[in-house]
Amino acid sequence: MLLSIIYVIGITAEAMTGALSAGRRNMDWFGVMLVASATAIGGGSVRDILLGHYPLTWVKHPEYLLITCIAGIVTTWLAKWVVKFHGVFIRLDALGLAAFSVIGCQVGLNMGLHYGICVVAAVITGVFGGLLRDLICRQAPLVLHNELYASVSLVVACLYLTLHYFSIDENITVITSLIVGYLMRMASVRFKWRLPIFQLKVEESVH
Amino acid sequence: MLLSIIYVIGITAEAMTGALSAGRRNMDWFGVMLVASATAIGGGSVRDILLGHYPLTWVKHPEYLLITCIAGIVTTWLAKWVVKFHGVFIRLDALGLAAFSVIGCQVGLNMGLHYGICVVAAVITGVFGGLLRDLICRQAPLVLHNELYASVSLVVACLYLTLHYFSIDENITVITSLIVGYLMRMASVRFKWRLPIFQLKVEESVH
Amino acid sequence: MLLSIIYVIGITAEAMTGALSAGRRNMDWFGVMLVASATAIGGGSVRDILLGHYPLTWVKHPEYLLITCIAGIVTTWLAKWVVKFHGVFIRLDALGLAAFSVIGCQVGLNMGLHYGICVVAAVITGVFGGLLRDLICRQAPLVLHNELYASVSLVVACLYLTLHYFSIDENITVITSLIVGYLMRMASVRFKWRLPIFQLKVEESVH
């Protein structure tokens, strides 16, 4: 229940950041709704397609798609406000990232998949929405360059699975994972934690 | 039956416009066939993958894939002619858009999905082929900037579903939807109807 | 068995070339692992998603995903070495391309699909990994411009299916296909065999 509420908050926040990206590319309303929805529920959709986990969440719950489309359009009116309250969105996005990762894990576990694949499912849920946004808006994928993002998903997933493995109460497992994920993401934004970058400056090309 | 014929005309026209995009990027024959096929049958494929509607149309009917590949290659010989008869292709594409949208609706209804998801299925069928083309050819997605396109799909879908809901004869429903879709698309091209654009000129970035 | 070994060699080589592309875009470790994995096992994943062939290979065998991630990270340390032994990778990649094509055919045959679709499955397995790599790294898709690549897949698939049709011993069929595919790819690299290019220089746009 708590997770559902945080999920809705998460997709709303993600949809609004997606709409801003669409706005930077001068897209029309349909583009705004598309990018908003892809950012918010694209990660879960990619996960479900890769795992063969049908029906997709938004097909079963069309109201989620409605929320992301409305959030996108509302953003076109409140853009200045959204940009101004930048910090709020960073926080909501961090919460959403943690929630997405937990949900990804749960989907994997419910399908009886290998723990390693559950971790992958969590990371895909957390990260691929942003990747799709950047792909459609033709900008360098932020999640592959900036502060820790996928790594937060990874840590949340490992924590969740560990607590799950030792049969800790589900509520405690979820809440602990959410808090740790939120704090880790906020810390990595504040202290600019990054993964090592791989820079290659060769003219030759292998392929 | 009528719908099948229009569908084949639609994918042929879409494949030819896809091939032109590939030509602007100096692709080889394989690239031409790939972009032609993705443009023509990519929308339906994305829809079927998202809805879990297997097998995909072209897997069941490989002849459709053959048509799009041949249409792509033929376009490399007839490019000047295709560009010259620009107006014909706009018309065929408009007809194809209407047919794709009707087919998308029908797939959703046959799967017993929520009406809202049927509309989404229609829009995806109509729009994602062009989106895939622009993604592979790395150009700004036209359907998110220009004259009404996704909106035509939306209107066709709503009209089709309304007539279907009131149990109007299927043939009348299909033909009415095709005519309205065709006219709306042609009118929006002629009168340059567009959706509102969301322009954002901020240096700051939320993400 | 032989095919499995060559498959593992193939995905390792593909993962390393993917990692180099990520390095040219200054991605972080997660990006390196993502691009490496997408390059190596993305083709098979796209094939399985399009055919509805679940579970995907790496979901059933998470160790393959582990191999591609490790190969990606190792490449960040051995980049100079990898670039230096360019020729080795061309050879391994050629072998992998042939193996991927054979595996694509086998998947199609096992699903009882039309021979034409088996050929498409082979080409998708061989080509889409590189396409995904270039899409994520936002560079012109090499497989659509350069020396024969998709065509090698096509020839391997047709050869495999022909031998299969005449009930030739499976081992001989596989080995012959691998050898022909390898030689054809190496010859096309050496002699710069290419498909005809479709160049279109029109200002007008049909779409």
Q: Can you state the percent helix, strand and coil of chain B, rounding each to 5?
A: 75, 0, 20
C-beta of residue A143 within 8 angstroms of C-beta of residue A166? no
Reported ipTM: the value is: 0.90
Q: Taking CB atoms and an 8 Å limit, are B89 and C206 in contact across chains?
A: yes
SS3 A197: strand
List chain C residues with CB under 8 Å of A202.
Answer: 20, 24, 79, 83
Residues A26/A27/A32/A33 CA torsion (nearest 10 deg): 170
pLDDT mean across residues, chain A: 91
The pLDDT value recorded for residue B151 is: 92
The pLDDT value recorded for residue A207 is: 46
Q: Which of A149, A151, A206 sits opposite C20 (nearest CB)?
A: A206
One-letter identity of residue C143: V
CA distance, residue A13 to nearest chain B CA (Å):
11
The pLDDT value recorded for residue B72 is: 95
Contacts of C111 (CB under 8 A, 6+ apart): C51, C53
* pLDDT, tens digit (0-9, with 9 covering 90-100), for C139-175: 888 777 778 889 999 999 999 999 999 999 999 999 9
Asked whether the predicted pLDDT for residue A55 surpasses 60, the reply is yes
Residue B51 vs residue A83, higher pLDDT: B51
Closest CA to B175 of B110, B98, B88, B119: B98
Q: Taking CB atoms and an 8 Å limit, are B138 and A138 in contact across chains?
A: yes
List chain C residues with CB under 8 Å of A185.
Answer: none
Residues A53-64: what's their mean pLDDT? Answer: 96
Residue B70 vs residue A84, higher pLDDT: B70
Q: Can you state the percent helix, strand and coil of chain A, rounding each to 5?
A: 75, 0, 20
Residue C206 vs residue A134, higher pLDDT: A134
Asked whether the predicted pLDDT for residue B24 surpasses 50, the reply is yes
Asked whether the predicted pLDDT for residue C87 surpasses 90, the reply is no
Q: Taking CB atoms and an 8 Å limit, are C198 and B65 in contact across chains?
A: no
In this structure, of A42-56, A131-145, A165-179, C125-139, the range with the lowest mean pLDDT score is A131-145
SS3 C62: helix
In this structure, of B86-100, C95-109, C133-147, the range with the lowest mean pLDDT score is C133-147
One-letter identity of residue B157: A
**Rounded to 5°, angle at Cα B44 from B41 and B49:** 120
Neighbours of chain C (3+ CB pairs under 8 A): A, B
* pLDDT, tens digit (0-9, with 9 covering 90-100), for C101-115: 999 999 999 999 999
The pLDDT value recorded for residue C86 is: 81
Residues A79-105: what's their mean pLDDT? Answer: 88
User: How sure is the predictor about B202, in pLDDT bands with cuts at 50, 70 and 90?
Assistant: low
Residue B32 vs residue A201, higher pLDDT: B32
Which of C33, C34, C131 best tests the A interface by mutation, with the highest count of A CBs <10 A?
Answer: C34
Residue A203 neighbours by CB distance under 10 Å: 5
* Burial class (CB within 10 angstroms; exposed 0-12, middle 13-18, buried 19+) of B203: exposed
Q: Does B137 touch chain C (CB under 8 A)?
A: no
The pLDDT value recorded for residue B82 is: 81
User: How sure is the predictor about B154, in pLDDT bands with cuts at 50, 70 and 90?
Assistant: very high
How far apart, in whole angstroms, are the C-alpha atoms of residue C146 and residue B16?
23
Q: Taking CB atoms and an 8 Å limit, are C197 and B136 in contact across chains?
A: no
Residues B98/B100/B104/B109 CA torsion (nearest 10 deg): 60
The pLDDT value recorded for residue A206 is: 45
List chain C residues with CB under 8 Å of A188.
Answer: none
Structure tokens at A71: 């959030």
The pLDDT value recorded for residue B206 is: 45
Q: Does B88 touch chain A (CB under 8 A)?
A: no
The pLDDT value recorded for residue B80 is: 84
- Inter-axis angle of helices A62-84 and B115-136, nearest 10: 60
The pLDDT value recorded for residue B207 is: 46
* pLDDT, tens digit (0-9, with 9 covering 90-100), for C44-60: 999 999 999 999 999 99
C-beta of residue A1 within 8 angstroms of C-beta of residue B174? no
Asked whether the predicted pLDDT for residue A56 surpasses 50, the reply is yes
How far apart, in whole angstroms, are the C-alpha atoms of residue B40 and residue B69?
10
* pLDDT, tens digit (0-9, with 9 covering 90-100), for A149-175: 899 999 999 999 999 999 999 999 999
User: How sure is the predictor about C84, in pLDDT bands with cuts at 50, 70 and 90?
Assistant: confident
User: How sure is the predictor about B146, in pLDDT bands with cuts at 50, 70 and 90?
Assistant: confident
